[in-house]
Amino acid sequence: MPDPAADLRPGRAPRALGGLAALACVACCALPVLITAGVVGAGAGAVVGWLPALAVVLTVLAAGTWWLGRRRRSCSYAPTTAGEGRCGCRTSADPLEISGTGRR
């Protein structure tokens, strides 16, 4: 089983939210034309006003989930040494280094 902490690919959520944002943008432009042509009922006109705001919110959510997914630490658990081919986190057996350079 692959190590989930080493997986740097973003999940499905940003892709799904981005797809929904694109769909909202297309619907925002297409619905007025479809209402005018009589393909869609006039009741859909109530939705047209909310679609730009919905598209912006979905775009911000997609960007936020992508950013949080990329910001995730590459080694959140299972610390090992760098020589074992893992992420290179320090083990608890390593001594703690304390430096005397601090603000006073």
SS3 91: coil
Q: What is the pLDDT of residue 43?
A: 81
Q: For 35-85, how does the pLDDT look when each residue is reduced to its tens digit (9 = 90+)?
A: 888 888 878 888 888 888 999 999 999 999 988 888 765 555 554 544 455
pTM of structure = 0.56
Helix (H, G, I), strand (E, B) or coil at 40: coil
Mean pLDDT, residues 22-37:
88
Query: What SS3 state is found at 20?
Result: helix
User: What digits encode the pLDDT tens for the residues 1-25?
Assistant: 555 555 555 578 889 999 999 999 8
d(CA 82, CA 76): 15
**Cα torsion 34, 38, 44, 47: sign:** positive
